[in-house]
Amino acid sequence: MLLLGALAIALIVVGRYTNWLAPVRDFATGLAAPFHWIAEAPGRVADWAEGAVVSRAELEEENDRLKHQLLLLQHRAQLLAAVKAENTKLKELMNARELVDDRVVVTEVIGVSPDPQEHVLVLDKGREDGLVPGTPILDAHGLLGQVIEASAGSSRVLLITDSSHALPVQVQRNNVRAVAEGTGNLYLLQLRHVSNTSDVREGDVLLSSGLGGRFPAGYPVGQVIAIHRDPGQPFADIDIRPRAQMSRSRFVLAVTGKAGDDALEDELNGADGGAP
């Protein structure tokens, strides 16, 4: 033991103060490397497995958050277009800001009416979330419809394309007012009783006018795609393509009231922090 102890002390001193044992250390380090790799392999496998399992759930959650946030941002972009049009007519900035500060709730379409003659959706939000009959509903592109029935946790929405629906609108270019009526076709609205002499052109964008107090002013409704004028008739028939994706929107927005910039930012922060 004394001999081994003395040998150990001698090796320590030689290794500390000289480089004589450097080749031996290098050889021993290289020899031990595979054993370190094998010893750490279970930990690496566990980390990989945990990442592979958790990442899918995290990606789905992040995808939902981004979808909700995109809807909110596109909602603001829609209204900014209306604000720009109003600003060109020299309206005051505060009046324009009111057009983009609506309080909205993100909701999901969970059902569609089986009756082909009835354009009705079912949403997963209801009175507990602020949705009541008359609440406007829109998607990322334009007005979709309005709530006609609301229970505690769900609601039914009548689309603007339903044959029983009518919506006051105005031409964005010149503020000509009209009424857009549903035709029973998911891809077509019509303006009826518009004078043959009215300044309405193909390509004109129609916005909600706010008349009647049901829909807020400034939301995109549709675009003129055809005008039928008969010289023998006092009125023209005008075909409108809805801006909203009537048959494809899964997540939509319910406009539950007015709010300031801070409230809208809270909505964005809520969408960023988790799916509602």
Percent of the chain with pLDDT over 90: 36
The pair of structure tokens assigned to 192 is 């009826």
Q: For residue 47, what pLDDT is reported? A: 63
Residue 136 has pLDDT above 90, yes or no: yes
Closest CA to 189 of 224, 139, 137, 239: 239
Q: Let me know: does 242 contact 220? Beta carbons within 8 Å.
A: no
Kindly report whether the global pTM for this prediction surpasses the value 0.85.
no
What is the rounded average pLDDT of the residues 72-91? 70
Query: 139 falls in which pLDDT band (50, 70, 90)?
Result: confident
Q: For residue 264, what pLDDT is reported? A: 44
Best mean pLDDT range from 12-26, 93-107, 165-179 = 165-179
Task: Please give the Cα distance from 226 to 235 (Å, whole number).
Answer: 14
Q: For residue 61, what pLDDT is reported? A: 84
Residue 138 has pLDDT above 60, yes or no: yes
What is the rounded average pLDDT of the residues 169-173? 94
Mean pLDDT of the chain: 80
Q: Let me know: does 81 contact 223? Beta carbons within 8 Å.
A: no
Percent of the chain with pLDDT over 70: 75
Q: Let me know: does 95 contact 114? Beta carbons within 8 Å.
A: no
Residue 268 has pLDDT above 60, yes or no: no
Helix axes 261-273, 22-88, angle to 10 degrees: 140
Indicate the residue type of 117. Answer: Q
What is the rounded average pLDDT of the residues 29-42? 66
Q: Where are the domains of the chain?
A: 1-101+260-276, 105-258
Q: For residue 44, what pLDDT is reported? A: 64
Architecture of domain 105-258: Beta Barrel (2.40)
Q: For residue 55, what pLDDT is reported? A: 66
Q: For residue 185, what pLDDT is reported? A: 93
Whose structure tokens read 């076709």? Answer: 185
Cα-Cα-Cα-Cα dihedral sign, residues 173, 178, 181, 185: negative
Residue 274 has pLDDT above 60, yes or no: no
Closest CA to 268 of 71, 126, 124: 71
Best mean pLDDT range from 34-38, 61-65, 146-150, 193-197 = 146-150
Query: 275 falls in which pLDDT band (50, 70, 90)?
Result: very low
What is the rounded average pLDDT of the residues 28-50? 66
pLDDT tens readout for residues 108-130: 899 998 888 899 999 999 999 99
